[in-house]
Chains A and B, each alone.
Chain A
Amino acid sequence: MGRITLDKVTKRFGTAEVIPPLDLTIEDGEFTVFVGPSGCGKSTLLRLIAGLEDVSSGQIRIDGADATMTPPAKRGLAMVFQSYALYPHMSVRKNIAFPMKMAKMPQEEQDRRIESAAKALNLTDYLERRPGQLSGGQRQRVAIGRAIVREPSAFLFDEPLSNLDAALRVGMRLEISELHKRLQTTMVYVTHDQVEAMTMADKIVVLRAGYIEQVGSPLDLYHAPQNIFVAGFIGSPKMNFIEGPEAAKYDAHTIGVRPEHIAISDSEGPWSGVVGVSEHLGSDTFFHIHDTGLAETITVRADGEVGFRHGDRVHLTPRTDVIHRFDSEGLRITA
């Protein structure tokens, strides 16, 4: 079990309110991702759930029981830190055994759990090494192993992949998703990378300055962002925002069109502009179009083979059925 409920939780550091009153429910077995720009309070929120920070007011319930004042070790949660926080003077085996040793678990049970965790995480050959002798990905797995053996009701991840290189990050992303499918345990994951959020989450919580901007499944957020911030944050490359007369045609203050929802051609289309930088990724090409008279630049995704050059005049056709409309407050206009 691992249902976490936050009820009007706030956090103040001195006079600065980092988390204004906030309500959130994380269902049992759900993979929830907190995402937002740096300084939005997502790590603080995670640390409040973990118990490493005290809440200023409000209540945290884990499986219905009030855990607001419960010390971190008693909450039944396990955390994986950004720096992995392995104990450098202990072998991998001792690192993984540490929480069980603190809980005074029988030795046979400890050994059994270590073996199965090591097997699951491909660490069997490294059990006697020190963390300093391992690569970044292996250290990450040891940190996860140390969390798994506690059999917690929920896992908390604090930007666990940000210290890994790009290739390893993709690999570990899959491994963590795989782990979640296998264990079916609640996971709360903090990241600033919207790609990680989109690929891993069952539920994404978008945060800005401590406020929850939107909660929903990745596709909910992609298809129906509640405001300009979420619209701009989710999706890569960023959504194009257009104000002024063009937006007025759609009865909106601002309209948003994703780069993948604009067709580019050299002959026809309601918008036109000049090609600036083009980014060729092989499978796709991203064109940055200038001088459209709509916005400073419009980003357009095209097929990998489309070959416009810098300075070419092109025409753009937005897909009108997927245009997002926002009012002057930046909120979504529905229907």
Chain B
Amino acid sequence: MATQHSRSAARIMMAPAVILLLGWMLVPLTMTVLFSFKKYLPLRGGDLGWVGFDNYVRFVSSSAFWPSVQVTLVIVGGVLAITVALGVLLALLLDQPMWGQGIVRILVIAPFFVMPTVSALVWKNMFMDPVNGLFAHLWKFFGAEPISWLSEASIQSIIMIVSWQWLPFATLILLTAIQSLDSEQLEASEMDGASPLARFGYIILPHLGRAITVVVLIQTIFLLSIFAEIYVTTQGAFGTRTLTFLIFQRVLESQNVGLGSAGGVYAIILANIVAAFLMRIVGKNLDS
């Protein structure tokens, strides 16, 4: 945009989008911060006035707080590890020329189109149900005792469900990255005597660095706030109460908006810490 005129025109044209976005973000954020300093119990007296940092202290000193942070991080970390590792392998596989490639690719992407609530319910009732689930039948077929997944291996089950949903996303991004790899580089490394494993380690994986960074960053943003999968499966029981779910319980089950809002502010802080941490580790991949 060269001239003064075109610059100001561009600003005016961008304004509606910027204002909408700011409003969308700022209004809820301000209200959350506002409520977090109030004692606000909708069914037990409503707005009971300012209480300072009371809510913040109460939220952190609650015995449920630190476990919830830990659960959140375990779920995010587990899903990231599974989706990136399997995503790379699946992308490598899908990059190979094979019969029915188009259909296979669509099938791989399909889970991403299933709504979180639906997929969680499907997993819960069709796969993980200890009596009628497919896994139960499988276990029984081999003579083993069926596992009641969501109570005995609750975190692992949730990680499995969420990984299943996010694997297509990781695979898709990593596949496009693999396809952009110059085939002459692979041929050159083959001439240079690199074994298939060395080619993967020295050529393909570094090439995927940037795509993996993108996958990790985007998934982290969404995974920190997973809710539906927990709501329709364990309801936060059996050690699956994430920070998001804890806030939900404080606001809607305990009907304490002030306390929940304080939790929300903590969640924002946690997300930023995680983001800064990730940027530090993987962000340098985005530079070059």
Contacts and interface: CB of A to CB of B under 8 A. Distances in A.
B191 A102 contact: no
Contacts of A150: 192
Interface in B182-215: 182, 184-185, 187-195, 198, 202-203, 206-207, 209
A98 B191 contact: no
Given A81-B188, A89-B209, A102 B193 contact: yes
Interface string A80-107: 0111011111000000001100110000
Contacts of B192: 73, 98-99, 102, 146, 150
Given A89-B206, A98-B202, A72 B184 contact: no
B30 interface: no
B193 A81 contact: no
B185 to A, nearest CB: 5
A102 B190 contact: no
A131 to B, nearest CB: 11
A50 interface: yes
Question: For the complex, would chain B's binding face be called helix, strand, loop or mixed by DSSP majority?
Answer: helix
Contacts of B198: 102
A77 B191 contact: yes
B288 interface: yes
- Classify chain B's interface size: 10 to 19
Contact of A52 (B190, B202, B203): B190
Nearest to A133: B288
A78 interface: yes
A72 B203 contact: no
A83 B184 contact: yes
Contacts of A180: none
Interface string B198-236: 100011001101000000000000000000000000000
A52 B187 contact: yes
A113 to B, nearest CB: 14
Contact of B187 (A85, A86, A88, A99): A85
B191 A79 contact: yes
A87 B191 contact: no
A150 B190 CA distance: 13
A229 to B, nearest CB: 30
B191 A50 contact: yes
B193 A73 contact: yes
Contacts of B207: 88-89
Given A77-B191, A99-B192, A102-B193, A85 B185 contact: yes
B203 A82 contact: no
A146 B195 CA distance: 17
Contacts of A51: 191
Contacts of B206: 87, 89
25 contacts: A51-B191, A52-B187, A72-B187, A73-B190, A73-B191, A73-B193, A73-B194, A77-B191, A79-B187, A79-B191, A83-B184, A85-B184, A85-B188, A87-B185, A89-B206, A89-B209, A89-B288, A98-B189, A98-B192, A98-B202, A99-B193, A102-B192, A102-B195, A103-B193, A132-B288
Interface of B: 182, 184-185, 187-195, 198, 202-203, 206-207, 209, 288
Given A71-B190, A81-B188, A102-B195, 12 more contacts: A52-B187, A73-B192, A79-B188, A87-B202, A87-B203, A89-B207, A89-B209, A89-B288, A98-B194, A98-B202, A99-B193, A103-B193
Report the 5 A-B pairs with minimum CB-CB distance, sorted nearest first.
A73-B193, A99-B192, A85-B188, A85-B184, A102-B193
